Amino acid sequence: MKIKTRYNLTFTLLSSTIILFFAVTIYFLAAKNREKEYFSILKSEAIIKGNLYADEAITSSHIQDIYRQQENKNNLINVAIYDVNRHLLYQDQPITIPQDSIQSVWNSLQKNKNFKNKNKNKNKNKNKTKYSIGFPFQYDDKEYFIIASGQDIYGHQEMYQLRITLVIIALSAIILLYVLGHFLSKRLVRPIIEMSEEINKITAAHLDLRLKPLKHKDELNQLGEKFNLMLDRLENSFGAQKEFVAHISHELRTPLAAMITDLELAMDYNRTDKEYRDTIKRSLDDAKKIVTLSNNLLDLAKANYEPQEIGYMPVRVDEILLEAYQEIQTSHNKYSIQIEFETENSDDHLITVMGNPYLLKVACKNLIENACKFSENHKCIIKISDTPKMVKVAFMDTGMGISDEELDHIFTTFYRGKNQTHYSGYGIGLPLTKKILHQHNGKIKVETKLGSGSTFTLSIPHLSNI
């Protein structure tokens, strides 16, 4: 069912229930009031006749004449007057009260002194509801009992009219509410329909399109704003991906093109052994560059995994550093790496973190390699320390340092500083390290001074804090 229809039906159903509740309440209150009113009409008619009879100003037959001469015979109220011994003294016409209930009348009168009765006629005709009233009456020290009964024809007609009026009003109100609800719900869902039409136009090729702001600053407008923000993020990441792919293909093409040219030239002309060896060496270097780049990319992809996809285990930071140290020393024997513990006899837990050994090693290797790469002495001093919550590893060098303006960019993918001209790299190391740290709930901090060196410090929560 469409929202529009569901909203309209709910609205109409709720309002109809309220309308019907009020209509029924009004009707029953009016019926109760009318009943009360008719009993007081019966009583005053009975008192008038009681006074006429007891006063003896006119005879009983005159009173009966007045009764018979009334125009509306349906609306007649029959009155019967009894003495204290229940002897009938006067009646407008015989059988004022149904004979079978006369005894219950006397019983009631004896108990309560007053008597009121509503008797629905058995022939199912509601017009024939008979109301009776009985009460003791005193006139000049003489005691009487008066019983009056009649059918409330006017009252019934009034109630019938009220019923019809209420039904017509209620039905018209319900129909009106349904029609109004229809237009209202249409108005309410119109912005949603418009939004969905605009969303339909947004495709990968038109990611720059945005939802228009709505007239009313309501929840729907907020949804639109949130949707636009999501599109901003998507557009950025799409753009970044495009740029990434373009960059990678460029980085791959350069060494590949150099390799191809070198190898083609070597094939076409006769060369000396030394020249062949030089060509092979250059091609090997280019091939190594490609391998490094593809490894870096693979690591970057891994660091972008969701945390639940990465295998975590307790890892000793010093062991990771030792492995990184050994691997770097194997490939760069000129690099000098020194590992120092700031705190002696540290508890195992204080240098153990919950992490992925491979990714942590990648992060450490990047920082060690950078420290050695960007300093003349190719030296990196690593200092391990702990705080109550974190294990800290500082990678220090006395190299060229980083300028303030570059510092803001070094964690951006593919960014390479001015100082990198003579050093190989792709600008992937630091952003990758930052991502890995983020995956381990850790942080990376840089302290650097141009010309004096840099210190990159990693902080990762250790096991006593997890």
Kindly tell me which of 29 and 246 has the beta carbon lying closer to ligand ADP. 246
CB of 395 to ligand ADP, least distance (A): 8
- Pairing relationship of beta strands 142-151 and 313-316 according to DSSP bridges: unpaired
**CA dist list (Å): 316 to 178, 319, 328, 385:** 71, 5, 19, 13
Kindly tell me which of 419 and 465 has the beta carbon lying closer to ligand ADP. 419
Q: Which residues are at the interface with ligand ADP (CB under 6 A)? A: 366, 370-371, 374, 397, 399-402, 410, 415-417, 419-420, 425-430, 454
Kindly tell me which of 155 and 429 has the beta carbon lying closer to ligand ADP. 429
The answer to whether 416 and 367 are in contact (CB under 8 A) is: no
CB of 213 to ligand ADP, least distance (A): 40
CB of 331 to ligand ADP, least distance (A): 15
Nearest in space to 174 (alpha carbons), one of 25, 18, 21, 16: 16
CB of 407 to ligand ADP, least distance (A): 9
CB of 432 to ligand ADP, least distance (A): 7
Phi-psi region of 84 (alpha: psi -120 to 50; beta: other; left: phi over 0): alpha
The answer to whether 436 and 303 are in contact (CB under 8 A) is: yes
**Residues belonging to the chain:** 466
Return all residues near 133 (Cβ < 8 A) that are at least 6 apart. Answer: 39, 42, 43, 46, 114, 115, 116, 117, 147, 148, 149
Kindly tell me which of 206 and 422 has the beta carbon lying closer to ligand ADP. 422
CB of 400 to ligand ADP, least distance (A): 6
CB of 315 to ligand ADP, least distance (A): 22
**Tokens 């090729």 found at:** 205
Nearest in space to 376 (alpha carbons), one of 399, 395, 397: 399
CB of 367 to ligand ADP, least distance (A): 8
Which amino acid is it at 335?
Y
**Tokens 């009487």 found at:** 144
Token pair of 389 as six digits: 């919550």
Kindly tell me which of 347 and 447 has the beta carbon lying closer to ligand ADP. 447
The answer to whether 45 and 214 are in contact (CB under 8 A) is: no
Kindly tell me which of 33 and 295 has the beta carbon lying closer to ligand ADP. 295
Where are the extended beta strands (E) located within 88-183? 88-91, 115-119, 130-139, 142-151
Nearest in space to 429 (alpha carbons), one of 451, 447, 444: 444
Which amino acid is it at 383?
K
261 vs 349: CA distance, rounded Å? 55
Nearest in space to 417 (alpha carbons), one of 404, 406, 431: 406
CB of 7 to ligand ADP, least distance (A): 55
Return all residues near 52 (Cβ < 8 A) that are at least 6 apart. Answer: 58, 63
Residue 8 class from Cβ within 10 Å (0-12 exposed, 13-18 middle, 19+ buried)?
buried
Kindly tell me which of 166 and 394 has the beta carbon lying closer to ligand ADP. 394
CB of 225 to ligand ADP, least distance (A): 35
- Pairing relationship of beta strands 142-151 and 115-119 according to DSSP bridges: unpaired
CB of 430 to ligand ADP, least distance (A): 3
Kindly tell me which of 72 and 421 has the beta carbon lying closer to ligand ADP. 421
Kindly tell me which of 386 and 397 has the beta carbon lying closer to ligand ADP. 397
Kindly tell me which of 132 and 448 has the beta carbon lying closer to ligand ADP. 448
Q: What is the CA radius of gyration of the chain?
A: 52
Kindly tell me which of 150 and 401 has the beta carbon lying closer to ligand ADP. 401
Kindly tell me which of 156 and 379 has the beta carbon lying closer to ligand ADP. 379
CB of 433 to ligand ADP, least distance (A): 7
- Pairing relationship of beta strands 313-316 and 352-355 according to DSSP bridges: antiparallel
The answer to whether 40 and 127 are in contact (CB under 8 A) is: no
